[in-house]
Amino acid sequence: MTDRSGEVPNLVLASASPRRLELLQQIGVNCSVSPVDIPEIPGVGELPQCFVERLAREKARAGLAVAAEGAVVLGADTVVVCDGRILGKPVNREDGLAMLQQLSGSEHQVMTAVAVTNRERMLTEVVTTDVRFQILSLAQCEQYWASGEPCDKAGAYAIQGLGAVFVANIKGSYSAVVGLPLMETAVLLDAFGIPVWQV
């Protein structure tokens, strides 16, 4: 679905995440960045999958509200879920250490939702990946926290960074854990006339 001139629509990434931008660039997708500020608070009784999809949709809508005519906007959100509980970004050191100890030696789910929209329609996809951590000592958790990496990460770790050494097993999409499921994102973008491997 190219526009009337036959050109590829402009894609706007409604996210401040440098990781999502890098992932799009990895598959050859050109885009501009327009961060949005959406409250990331689950509703009462809201299931994690519903929550993460809602946030992706709200981010996409917010980005579309300020985008140029004809633009396509991508919004995304990622949550870590352990024992049915959503682990957001840690509020402080104690919270971060508690999250890491909860993840220690157990399997958790990383859910990433992607929403792509223009002024005519919106398509979404939610991808869930199972991640298992090795058993972590308190000293390991404290040392990792001291690195600064967990401070602004959902679940208090980054699989693409120093936190990779904690991951014993992964079942599903690695790129979704980083922040954007690339296979599913490519399919969504194609539906809006935006190809990968742009040159």
Active site residues: 77
Helix (H, G, I), strand (E, B) or coil at 122: strand
Q: Give the whole-angstrom CA distance, residue 185 versus residue 27.
A: 10
**Residue 169, beta-bridge partner list:** 132
Q: Give the whole-angstrom CA distance, residue 11 versus residue 9.
A: 6
Helix (H, G, I), strand (E, B) or coil at 133: strand
Per-residue CA distances from 105 to 45, 46, 136, 140, 143 (Å): 27, 27, 7, 13, 17
40, two tokens: 């990331």
